[in-house]
Structure formats: C-alpha cells, structure tokens
Amino acid sequence: MNMDKERFSQHISRGFNEELESLRNEVLRMGGMVENHLDIAIEAIVAGDSKMGLAVAGRDHEINQMEVAIDEQCSQILATRGPAATDLRLIVAVIKTITDLERVGDEAQRIGYLASHLASSQQHSDHYHELSELGEHVKKMLHEALDAFSRLDVKDALQVVEEDKLVDEEYDMILRQCISLMMEDPRTIRRFMDVSWVARALERIGDHAKNISEYVIYMVHGQDIRHLGLEEIRQEIGVE
Amino acid sequence: MNMDKERFSQHISRGFNEELESLRNEVLRMGGMVENHLDIAIEAIVAGDSKMGLAVAGRDHEINQMEVAIDEQCSQILATRGPAATDLRLIVAVIKTITDLERVGDEAQRIGYLASHLASSQQHSDHYHELSELGEHVKKMLHEALDAFSRLDVKDALQVVEEDKLVDEEYDMILRQCISLMMEDPRTIRRFMDVSWVARALERIGDHAKNISEYVIYMVHGQDIRHLGLEEIRQEIGVE
C-alpha cells in the first residue's frame, strides 16, 4: 500500500518534472531565436544591408508570440501544480527571463531598423568596426547567460554579471568617438546619431544578459542578489 | 457543522484577501515613490539644478529595495496559498508591474545624472521646454496606468496604451530638433546629445506605463493583449 502510494506520487512528480523540463526547453528555444535575430541585426549593420535589417525587424512578432505562450505555460503550472521552493523559483525566474528576452528582441528589431537607415541614407563607414566588436561582446554575454540558465551554473552567471562592466566601458568609448566625429564634421551628425543609438541598444542587451544571469543565481540560491555589488553577491552566495 | 466550516473558510479567505490587498497597496506605494523620483528628475532638468539631479539619482536603491521586497511577498503568497484564476493573474501581473516600475526608476536615475551633467557643463537652454512637456506627458501616463491598476479599470488602461503613440511622436520631434540644432552649431553637440538621451529616457517611461496598463487588462480579462494592435485589443475584450 505504501509502495503503491509512493509509486503514484513518483508518477505525479514525473509528469510535473516533464512540465518543468519542457518549460526550460521553451525558454532556451526562445533564447536561441533571440540570439539569431541579434546576430542578423548586427550582420546587417556591418554589411550595410538594408534589406537584411528590415527583414529581421519584421520578424520580431515571432519572439513576442513565444513570450506570450511561455507566460501562459507558467500560469498553467502555477495554477495546477501549486509549486513550492525550487520549482516556484524556477517559474518566477522564467517569467522574468522571458521579459528580458523579449526586450532583447525589441533591441534587435531597433538595430535592424537602424541598419536599414544607415545603409540606405549614407555611405559606409569604417567606424562600424567598434560596433561590431561591442556586438560580439554582448552576443557572447547573452549566450553565456542562457548557458548558465540551462546548466544552473552560478559561477558562469556571476561571470556574465562581471562582464557587463566592460560592455559599459566599450559603450562609453564609442559614444565619445561618435561625439568627436560629429564635431569634426557636422555633416556626419545624422549618421553618428544612428551609430550611437545602435551602441546604446547593444549596451542595453548587455544589461538584459546581466538580468538573466541574476535570475539564475536567484533560482539556485533563492537569494535575491539584484541590486547588490559584486563583492556583496560573492559573500552572500559563498563563491570566491 | 456546515456553517462552522463555512465560517472557517471565510476566515481563511479573509486572511488571503488581506494579503492580496496588502500586495496591491505595496505596488501602489512603490509606484508613488517612482512617480516622486521622476518628478524630481524632470524638475532638476528644467531648473538646471545639478544637486537635485544627483540627489534623486542617489536614491534609486530605495526603489530597488521595494521591488525585491514585493517580489518576495509574491513568492510567499504563491507558495503558501496556491492561488488560481483571478488571484493568480493578479500576482503574475504584480511580478511584471514591479519590474517595469523598477526600470522607470532606472530611467529617472539616468535623467537625474543627465540633469546634473547638463546643469554643470553648459549654459541653460530654452529648448528644455519641449523636454518638460514630454516629461509632463509621460508622468500623466504613468499616473493613469497606476490608477487603472488600483481600480482595475480596463477603459483607462486602454487610454494609456493609446497615449503612447503621441509620446512616440513628441519624442521623434525632439530628436529631429536636436539634430537640427547640432548641425547649426556643432559646439552644442554634446549638450543636445544629452537632451536627446533625456528624451529617450522619457519615451521609455511611456513604454513602461503602456506595459503596466497591458498587465491591468490581462488581470481583468485574462487575455494576453500584449503585442496586439489597438483594434485587435478592442475586439478581444469587447470595449468600443
């Protein structure tokens, strides 16, 4: 009798585990799509390809649909399973993560439009090199954040949080460059305004990757480390 | 016996209702604080008051703390009450709303720093008039979104969603003006870059107010209307 009961609860629990597993997979699938859009948007900037920029901007709704669907999945699980502790933290982290992913999608859309604008209205510039480097950097951060999410790896998540400072510095450098170039030749003002908006969008994506990493730490440790300094975070969770 | 049971379940439910009520009040209190910070940040721009700008930027952690506390409250309720249907939607909406409020706080902090930068490094400009108007507009939107949240008023929430288009237009106008002024006199480039960042921050706050309004509609109707056009939203929820 006892054994039957145990087997029954295992069965229940296996179904629940599958739901959570499917939820995590959906988040990673959404993450993959967002990475793909970002990749194309940056490529459109570097290649000066207006059509490519517009095409990726026009596909943002795919990401939005995934957000809505995953949100629905979270509500279903909350309502039917009444999860607690780690499971509950996973679901709260997912609700927050997909909001950040959706906003990364919005930034990729913005970069796509800016790529089209830059490509069609002005001659190509060598200064997109820095944008491309910043782009590679935040793409790497986003990828590592999603990787930390999939492996629940706090150490890697902390690494991403740390990286964000470097991205902010790169962004500041690009901004200063843009202003210098505009002052040198006011005919370039429009173009370098666009370049600075792209840099800003990329810097924002770095912030979102950082947010996602913080949710990973919250998921694993159950401590809310947002808004703490890095030193405080390390002390809180006991990672050197 | 039946009556006792009924009284007991009413008691349980009363405790639960009080928790939900307290949660809603905390969100409104956080909203009030965010409105206050935004108010001061805009005032610092208009008055050219560097000290005021820095002071409000330095107080952002108060908002962050509220977000963490309310998040914790949500997790508690989810874990102990296993809410369903409307109650569950309220809590999911709160989790999302406070993320947006926290980001409005970040934008207010950014505006505070920009106010300090604008005030200390350059002469005052008449062109802050447009910023001030845009600021009033998004403050109104944010206030109405919070009001719709407190009264669960779908019609007012839809109004805010609609307002956001006007804010986007005002923002575009300011941006075009900034570019013209920079081209006329390249010595003003730095200043009008700052002005355009302030405008962008305000435009973003409009987006957040719109997001919050969409969560209100979701809370009441249980339909996810994010990413739908206004016409589709009206059809979905049957408001003319």
Would the pLDDT of A6 be above 60?
Answer: no
Over residues B45-54, mean pLDDT: 95
Residues of B in contact with A85 (CB under 8 A): 79
End-to-end CA distance of chain B: 49
* Contacting residues for A215 by C-beta, under 8 A, at least 6 apart: A93, A96, A97, A149
Confidence of residue A12 (pLDDT cuts 50, 70, 90): low
Token pair recorded at residue B33? 């604080």
* CB of B149 closer than 8 Å to CB of B216: yes
Handedness of CA A134, A139, A142, A148 (dihedral sign): negative
Of B95, B179, B200, the CB nearest to A92: B95
Would the pLDDT of A17 be above 60?
Answer: yes
Residues B186, A190: C-beta atoms closer than 8 Å: no
Which of A65, A34, A33, A21 lies closest to A208, judged by CA?
Answer: A34
Element (H, E) at A112: helix A85-121
CATH number for the domain harbouring residue B121: 1.20.58.220
Number of domains within chain B = 1
pLDDT score at A1 = 41
Confidence of residue A85 (pLDDT cuts 50, 70, 90): confident
- Domain residues for A111? 3-237
Residues of B in contact with A183 (CB under 8 A): 186, 189
Would the pLDDT of B167 be above 60?
Answer: yes
Q: How far is Cα B138 from Cα B160, in angstroms, rounded to an integer?
A: 10
Would the pLDDT of B8 be above 70?
Answer: no
Q: What does the mean pLDDT of chain B come to?
A: 90
Token pair recorded at residue B163? 């307002």
Residues of A in contact with B113 (CB under 8 A): none
pLDDT score at A120 = 77
Would the pLDDT of A106 be above 80?
Answer: yes
Would the pLDDT of A111 be above 60?
Answer: yes
Over residues B189-201, mean pLDDT: 94
Residue written as tokens 């435009």?
A: B203
The per-residue pLDDT for range A19-50, each reduced to its tens digit, is 999 999 999 999 999 999 999 999 999 999 99
Find the DSSP H helices in chain B. 2-47, 50-57, 60-81, 85-121, 128-151, 154-184, 189-221, 230-237
CA dihedral A61, A62, A65, A66 (to 10 degrees): -140
Over residues A145-168, mean pLDDT: 96
Specify the range with the lowest mean pLDDT, choosing from A34-48, A71-85, B40-54, B113-127. Answer: B113-127
pTM: 0.89
Would the pLDDT of B157 be above 90?
Answer: yes
B79 vs chain A: nearest CA distance in angstroms? 5
Q: How far is Cα A91 from Cα A24, in angstroms, rounded to an integer?
A: 9
Would the pLDDT of B49 be above 90?
Answer: yes
Question: Could you tell me which residue, B24 or A10, shows the higher pLDDT?
Answer: B24
Over residues A73-96, mean pLDDT: 92
Instruction: For chains A and B, count residue pairs whose Cβ atoms are closer than 8 Å.
Output: 78
Q: How far is Cα A132 from Cα A111, in angstroms, rounded to an integer?
A: 12
The per-residue pLDDT for range B57-113, each reduced to its tens digit, is 999 999 999 999 999 999 999 999 888 888 999 999 999 999 999 999 999 999 999
Confidence of residue B156 (pLDDT cuts 50, 70, 90): very high
B55 vs chain A: nearest CA distance in angstroms? 18
Would the pLDDT of B237 be above 90?
Answer: no
Would the pLDDT of A138 be above 90?
Answer: yes
Over residues A185-213, mean pLDDT: 95
CA A36 to chain centroid, in Å, comes to 12
What letters, b where the CB count within 10 A reaches 16 and e where it falls short, cover B221-231? Answer: beebbbebeee
CA B156 to chain centroid, in Å, comes to 15
Q: Say if B89 is an interface residue toward chain A (CB within 8 Å).
A: yes
